[in-house]
Amino acid sequence: MDLNFSPEEAAFRQEVREFLRVKLPGDISRKVLEHRRLVKDDYVRWQKILFEQGWIATGWPVEHGGTGWSPIQRYIFEEESAAAGAPRLTPFGLHMVGPVIIAFGSEAQKKQYLPRILSSEDWWCQGYSEPGSGSDLASLKTRAERQGDHYIVNGQKTWNTHGQWADMCFCLVRTSSGGKKQEGISFLLIDMHSPGITVRPIITLDGEHEVNEVWFENVKVPAQNLIGEEGRGWSYAKFLLSHERTGIAGVGNSKRELQLLKHIASQEQAGGRALIEDPLFRDRIAQVEIDLMALEITCLRVAAADRDGKAPGPEASILKIKGTEIQQELTELMMEAVGPYALPHLPMAWGDHWIGAKVGPEYAAPLAARYLNYRKTSIYGGSNEIQRNIIAQMVLGL
């Protein structure tokens, strides 16, 4: 297996870099690089720029508006975008429900939803987890009862990311209670503006309104919004999660954050000594860099296999576990590096001017909030404990 980049791929990297240099709005990249809070308009503005370039759906088939890029080209694009400070593309439409609609949706559904995902006209959210049904997702209780040409949906979803901005929700619902619990689950597309939907914010430890609980009370959903067959939702969900878990690895973002960590650790502390001169702290930086290098090679191996038509199996779980552990370690090391200057992490510290800027380096103020926010990465997309079970089953046969 040759993991070196070809001359064509190297030329593609230069093309991406030049595009980002010219087209990526400076105010957005500064927010990303300085760990400032992004709003919906920041994401949409950038996605519309990519849409106009024809670079928005990097993993979709060309006939549905995709770029036709190879897995290696997609990897290069994500790495360069992260280095330049581009926002990560919101995954729910482009990387999650879009591929499901392409693979299992009707022609009418493809015609209706795919163009609106590409243009960012529709903002999507995910309706999977419920209170008591997170890692054991198959135990979900939200029900959808068929009544003629529509379903009536009742129940609750939680940890719903950006549902306060969403136009549509792809939702797992229980349409049958007989047989195995996985066999009674269906996959519905629900208009978030429908009567009977209530979105309630969950404010996380970093002061962010990123996630929500969503209540469905006698919500009427057209039967034509059912993806595929009734009772096959679990299969479609597993297909979707394999896409999500591979993308969670976030190698490009972690490489960028590693460089910031080295910069922070190289700054002189009280007494004129930089933290990176401490052998114990330097060893921790070296260990996370080694882990990141190994993760990058694994990602490239998965990309090369994908190029050869091999879908990721347990590799998706491996990437998810190690990628999120590295992300968490980087946030922890950065917060430790700035010490008490990371303290102002409450909502009033966010914005164009940091409270922390008056008592320490400006980059320090958001680091505690980022540390707290990244505690979630080992849980979402299927907890890392569940991923280890998947690896044990698929690799060891346990």
Indicate whether 368 pLDDT > 70.
yes
| In-domain check, residue 130 | yes
pLDDT at 303 over 80: no
Examine the fold and report which residue of 204, 231, 258 is the final residue of a domain before the chain moves on. Answer: 231
**Could you report the per-residue pLDDT of 152-203, keeping only the tens digit for each?**
999 999 999 999 999 999 999 999 988 788 889 999 999 999 999 999 999 9
Residues 266, 206, single domain; the answer is: no
Q: Give the chain's end-to-end CA distance (angstroms, integer).
A: 30
Does residue 154 share a domain with residue 226? Answer: yes
How would residue 355 be classed by pLDDT, with cut points 50, 70 and 90?
A: very low
Look at residues 94, 96, 172 and name the one whose alpha carbon lies nearest to residue 133: 172
Helix (H) / strand (E) containing 359? none
- Among the candidates 177, 202, 231, a domain finishes at 231
pLDDT band at 398 (very low <50, low <70, confident <90, very high): low
Among 182, 210, 245, 235, CA closest to 386:
245
The verdict on 207 and 127 lying in the same domain is yes
Helix locations, 172-250, DSSP H: 233-248
Name the residue range of residue 218's domain.
123-231
Q: Say how many domains are in the chain.
A: 3
Lowest mean pLDDT among 11-25, 301-315, 317-331, 366-380: 301-315
Same domain, 272 and 388: yes
Q: How confident is the model at residue 245 (pLDDT cuts 50, 70, 90)?
A: low
Q: Please check the confidence at residue 146 and state whether its pLDDT lies above 50.
A: yes
CB 218 within 8 A of CB 142: no
DSSP class of residue 226 equals B
Mean pLDDT to the nearest integer, 51-73: 93
Average pLDDT over residues 82-97: 94
Helix locations, 34-129, DSSP H: 40-53, 71-84, 91, 98-104, 107-118
Active site (annotated) includes residue 244: yes
- Calculate mean pLDDT across residues 340-364: 61
pLDDT of residue 27: 97
107 lies in some domain: no
Residues near 332 by beta carbon (within 8 Å), at least 6 away in sequence: 371
> Is 95 inside any structural domain?
no
Band (pLDDT 50/70/90 cuts) for residue 357 is very low
**Rounded Cα distance, 331 and 374, in Å:** 7
**Domain contains 102:** no
pLDDT of residue 2: 55
The residue-averaged pLDDT of 270-277 equals 82
Mean pLDDT score of the chain: 89
CATH number at residue 206: 2.40.110.10
| Pairwise CA distance, residues 375 & 210, whole Å | 14
Same domain, 188 and 327: no
Looking at residue 167, what is its pLDDT? 97
The pLDDT score that the predictor gives to residue 244 is 57
Find out whether 215 and 197 touch, Cβ atoms under 8 Å.
Answer: yes
Percent of the chain at pLDDT > 70 equals: 91
- Cβ distance 369 to 207 under 8 Å? yes
Kindly state the average pLDDT of the residues 237-243: 77
Q: How confident is the model at residue 356 (pLDDT cuts 50, 70, 90)?
A: very low
Per the DSSP assignment, residues forming a β-bridge with 126 are 170
Residues 127 and 189 in one domain: yes
Name the more confident of 88 and 358: 88
For the segment 263-291, the average pLDDT, to the nearest whole number, is 90
* pLDDT range class, residue 278, cuts 50, 70, 90: very high
What is the C-alpha separation between 174 and 55, in angstroms, rounded? 36
Helix-helix angle 71-84:251-265, to 10 degrees: 30
Q: Note the maximum CA span of the chain.
A: 76
Specify if 148 maps to a domain.
yes
Domain at 317, CATH number = 1.20.140.10
Q: What pLDDT score does 307 carry? A: 65
pLDDT of residue 354: 46
Q: Which of 163-167, 209-213, 223-227, 300-304 has the lowest mean pLDDT?
A: 300-304
The whole-number average pLDDT for the span 226-246 is 83
Contact 319, 294 (CB under 8 A): no
Residues 253 and 224 in one domain: no
Domain membership flag for residue 38: yes
**Whether residue 187 sits in one domain with residue 224:** yes
Angle between helices 279-307 and 71-84 (to 10 degrees): 150
Whether residue 132 lies inside any domain: the answer is yes
What are the phi and psi torsion angles at 295 (to 5°)?
A: -65, -40
* Helix, strand or coil, per DSSP, at residue 150: strand
Q: How many helices (H) and strands (E) does the chain have?
A: 13, 7
Q: How confident is the model at residue 318 (pLDDT cuts 50, 70, 90)?
A: confident
Element (H, E) at 288: helix 279-307
Q: Note whether 310 and 279 are same-domain residues.
A: yes
Out of 32, 67, 89, a domain closes at: 89
366 and 334 within one domain: yes
- pLDDT of 137 reads 87
User: Does residue 118 form part of some domain?
Assistant: no
The pLDDT of residue 302: 79
Q: Report which of 239, 154, 151, 162 is spatially closest to residue 188, judged by C-alpha positions.
A: 151
Q: Which residue has the tokens 């933290």?
A: 275
Annotated catalytic residue within 130, 213, 244, 296 = 244
Average pLDDT score over residue span 315-331: 91
- Is the confidence at residue 21, as pLDDT, over 70? yes
Residue 143 near residue 112 (C-beta atoms within 8 A): no
Same domain assignment for residues 373 and 263: yes
Residues 272 and 363 reside in one and the same domain: yes
